[in-house]
Structure 1
Amino acid sequence: MSPIALRVLCLTLGLVLASCSEPSTELRRSARVEGSVAPSGPARGNAYLFLFAPGEAPPEQRGEPRYVTAVPEVRLAAGDARFRFSEVGPDVYRLWGFLDANGDADLTVDVLAQPGAGDWVPESSVELNVQPGQVLAADLALPRRVLRPLPAFQVVEQGEGSVLTLTDSATAITSFSVKSEGFGLLRGEAPRFFVRLADSNGDGTPDDVNGDGVFDLWPQFFLRFVPRPGQTVPLDSQGRPAQVLVPLLPNPAPFLGGLQGDPSREIAADLLQLFVIPLAQAVTDEPGRGRVVTTLGAIPVGEYELWCVNDEGGSWFVPNDLGRRTVEPVSSQALRFRVVHADAADAGAGSR
C-alpha cells in the first residue's frame, strides 16, 4: 500500500472534522495551518488538501504528502470551504490540493490519488514557512479545470508469467503496444491518448529536444528503474538518489500527417506503439540548475515501472495498486517489467 493510502486510512472524514478542536497541551509547539479552498467552478465533490516537502509538491514534482486533510462535499455545498491541518510540525512546506468534481479520485489507490478530467486544481503550490506554535492562515485557489482524463492504459503484450522482459541491448530495436483503458473506474470522457506535438515554450514551433529530426510528442512514456536492495543509482549533489529512466518513443508515423506540424492540433488514439530507446538517463534536480539529465553508460538490469504522463501532468504507471489489491485485482495492472542482459538465457521472453 502506498504512503498516501496509509495516511488516508488514518484520516477519515470524522477525523477531519474533529481536527477543528484545539491541540493538546503536549502539542503546543505544533502549529496549525488553516484557511479556505476556493474552486472557480461549482462546489461539487470533496476537496483534498496536502502539505508536501518543498521539492516534492505537484504540479512540478511528484512526492508523498506529509499531511492530508479534506473538505467534504456536504460542507462545500453549504458554503463552508474551511480546511485545517492540526498538529503540524514546524518546517517549510508547499500547500497543494484539488476538488474531485467527478468523484472518481481514490486516495487509497496510488494511480487514482490525483485529479482527472473535470476536477479543479491550483496553478501552482503555495510555499508555507510554519513556525512552532503558529496558527498560519493560507487559502488555496483552484482556478484551473483539468481537461484530460487520466492516461490509464494496459500493455497489449502481457508477457509470460505477468512479466514483460526487455534487454539492455544498445542496438536491438524493441517495441510493445499500450491500449487506453479506464477499467470502469474513471468518470466522464473515456480515457484516450491525446497525441499532440510538444511545444514547451509556447512559441508555436514543435520541440525536438534531442535533435533527431523527429518532433517530440505528448503523451510521454518512460520506464522508471526500481532498484532492489544492493542495487545503486547515481546521486545528486546533495546525496539524494537520482531517478533512472529509459525513454520510450511513441511511433509518430500514424499521427504526423494529421498534426501537420501544428502544436495546437491533437489526435485521440486508443492504441500506441512504443519503441524502447536503448539508453538510460539519470534525472536530478540541482540547486540553481533545475532539472539535470545525465546519460548513463548502460541500462541497469532489474525491475522497472512503465509510466505515461500527459500534457496536463496527469500520470499512470504499471504495476500499481489496482493490480495488487486483494479484492477484484485488475490483472493487467500487475504486469511487471524486467530488463536483463542481452545475452541472458531468458532475454527473449516477452521481447518484441
Structure 2
Amino acid sequence: MSALRPTLRWGLVLAGLLSLHCDPPPVEATADHRQRQNLSRIEGQVVVQGRVRGNAIVLLYDAARPPPPQGTGRPLSFAVIPQERLFGPADDTSAGPFTAPYTFSLVAPGRYLVRGFIDADTCRTLPQPCHTPDFIPWYTVTGEPNAGDMGGAAVDPVTRAPRVLEIAAHADGTLPALTGVNVLFGETSTVPVDRPAFWVDSSPRFGTASIKLLDLKPLQIHQGAVDQRPTAMLVRFVDENTDGQPDDANGDGTPDLWPRVVVRKLAEGESLTDAQRLADENDLDRNGILDAEGVEYPRLEGLGDGQPDLVVLAAGLDTAVLNSMRKPDGAWNMGPVFVDSLRLVVQARAFDARNPQQPQPLRAVPPGRYAITLIHFTGQTWRVPNDLSPSVATTHGLPEVRNQSFALEVP
C-alpha cells in the first residue's frame, strides 16, 4: 500500500485530536481590573440637515459634568466621521438629510450626554480669508467649534430636549448596548461667532487691595492650527426661563450676564513641567476631574472635608457694561451686544467649588497663580494661560503668543 500524502496524513492527525473531545483549558480573570470591567457601547446615526460641510465631531460627556454653558465638563471620548463618508458626492446646494453611523465603545455603566458639531469648511462658500476645519482635540485652543460650525446633540424626538442616556446592568449583571441614539444637526444651531479669544491688558499682580480690575480685549490669531478672529467682545443677558427679561439668580439686584467668568487656581510646584503648570490645581491630568489626592485649604468655618479643593475667586463683569445693554427707548436689549473690551472685577474672596451648587468660603485667598476663563452662551470658551504660551507652544507645534501666558498672581 502506498504511503499517505503529507497533507492527508496531517489532516487525519488533526481529526484524531478533535475526536478526543478534550476539555478546554480554564480561563482565569486577568489581574488587571481595567480588563475585568463590564463595558458596553453607545451607537447611532449622525443626521445632518443643512448645507454646512465638514467632518462631524461627536462628543461623549458624563451627565453629571455637562459641557459649557451648562457646566464646565470635558469630553470623556470623541468620534470623528469624515466629511467624505457623511456627505459623499453631494453638491453644496443640497440640504440633505445626510446620515452616517458613529459608535462609542467600551462605555462603563453611567449616565451620559452626546453632543457634537460639524467642523465646517467655510472656505467652500465664503470669500477668502475664511475658516477651514480646525478641530484638534489635544489642545485647549483648538478643541472647540468656531463661527460657521453647526452644533448638534442627541435629543428627545418629541420635546427636543437633550437626552440623558443611561447604561445600567440587568438583573443578571449584563449591560445593554444603547443603540439608535441619533445625533441631530441643523442650520438653526450654526455657531454665530468665534470663540471669545482675549488678552489681558492689565498688570497680573493682585496686590493688597480687596478687588482687582482686569481689562480683557479681543485677540485675533490666524497662524498655524489656530484660527480665531473675534473683532469684539460679546455680551448678553442670561434668560434661562425665557421670559424675555434678564435673570438675577443670586438676587443681588444686578442682571446676570454672559460671558460667565471663572478664575481658578493653577497647579504649583518646582517639579512641574511648563505644560503641567498650565493645569488647574488638583487636576494635573487635565481631565476635568479632581485628583484623588491634592491640596486642601482651611475653610472659613472649620478645617475642611479632607478632600482636594477646587479653588476659585469671586469674579464677574463690571456692571458698567450695562450702559451698553439699553435700547434707545431705555428697555433692555436681550440680544447679543458687541463691545470693544470687557472689565472683570476679581474679589479677594476664595471658595472651594468642588460642589459648584454649594461653594464653601475659604479662610484666606491661597497665594499662587490663577487662570481666567470666559464662557459664552454658545458654550464656547477661552482661557489664559493656554497652550500658546511661548514656554510650551513650540513643543506642540503651535504658534507662540506671548500674551497668552498671562496668569493672575496672588502674593
Q: TM-score under structure 1 normalisation?
A: 0.73
**Aligned residue in 2 for 1:231:** 295
- Is 2:250 aligned against 1:186? no
Distance between the aligned counterparts of 2:307 and 2:240, measured in 1? 27
Q: Secondary structure at the match of 2:192?
A: coil
Distance between the aligned counterparts of 2:45 and 2:363, measured in 1? 50
Q: Shift of residue 234 of structure 1?
A: 7.9
Distance between the aligned counterparts of 1:75 and 1:321, measured in 2? 32
Distance between the aligned counterparts of 2:214 and 2:177, measured in 1? 53
**Aligned residue in 2 for 1:338:** 409
Q: Shift of residue 139 of structure 1?
A: 1.6
Q: 1:175-203 deviations in whole A, cap 9, x for unaligned?
A: 1211111312336x735311233333333
Does the Cα contact within 8 Å between 2:193 and 2:230 map onto a contact in 1?
no
Does the Cα contact within 8 Å between 2:42 and 2:177 map onto a contact in 1?
yes
- Is 2:161 aligned against 1:116? no
Quickly say closer, same or farther: Cα 1:142–1:298, change in 2 above 3 A.
Answer: farther
Distance between the aligned counterparts of 1:44 and 1:240, measured in 2? 46
* Larger proportion of strand: 1
- Is 2:42 aligned against 1:33? yes
Distance between the aligned counterparts of 2:236 and 2:112, measured in 1? 34
Distance between the aligned counterparts of 2:251 and 2:175, measured in 1? 53
Does the Cα contact within 8 Å between 2:295 and 2:309 map onto a contact in 1?
no
Which of 67, 71, 78 is equivalent to 2:77? 67
**Structure 2 unaligned blocks of 5 or more:** 1-34, 89-97, 122-132, 154-160, 270-293
Distance between the aligned counterparts of 2:185 and 2:324, measured in 1? 37
What amino acid is aligned across from residue 315 of structure 1 in structure 2? T
Does the Cα contact within 8 Å between 2:321 and 2:342 map onto a contact in 1?
no
Q: Which has the larger radius of gyration?
A: 2
Distance between the aligned counterparts of 1:297 and 1:27, measured in 2? 44
Q: Secondary structure at the match of 2:358?
A: strand
Q: Secondary structure at the match of 2:334?
A: coil
Q: Which has the higher contact order (CA 8 A, sep 6+)?
A: 1
Quickly say closer, same or farther: Cα 1:142–1:191, change in 2 above 3 A.
Answer: farther
Quickly say closer, same or farther: Cα 1:172–1:285, change in 2 above 3 A.
Answer: closer
**Aligned residue in 1 for 2:352:** 282
Distance between the aligned counterparts of 2:162 and 2:298, measured in 1? 29
Quickly say closer, same or farther: Cα 1:261–1:322, change in 2 above 3 A.
Answer: farther
Q: Shift of residue 319 of structure 1?
A: 0.8
Quickly say closer, same or farther: Cα 1:210–1:52, change in 2 above 3 A.
Answer: closer
Quickly say closer, same or farther: Cα 1:54–1:218, change in 2 above 3 A.
Answer: closer
Distance between the aligned counterparts of 2:331 and 2:353, measured in 1? 29
**Structure 1 unaligned blocks of 5 or more:** 1-25, 341-352
Q: TM-score under structure 2 normalisation?
A: 0.63
**Aligned residue in 1 for 2:375:** 309
Does the Cα contact within 8 Å between 2:372 and 2:385 map onto a contact in 1?
yes
Quickly say closer, same or farther: Cα 1:84–1:258, change in 2 above 3 A.
Answer: closer
Distance between the aligned counterparts of 1:267 and 1:294, measured in 2? 33
**Aligned residue in 2 for 1:216:** 256
4+ aligned runs moved over 6 Å, structure 1: 237-240
Distance between the aligned counterparts of 2:164 and 2:362, measured in 1? 35
User: C-alpha root-mean-square deviation of aligned residues, in Å?
Assistant: 3.2
What amino acid is aligned across from residue 148 of structure 1 in structure 2? V
Aligned length: 302
* Identity value in percent: 29
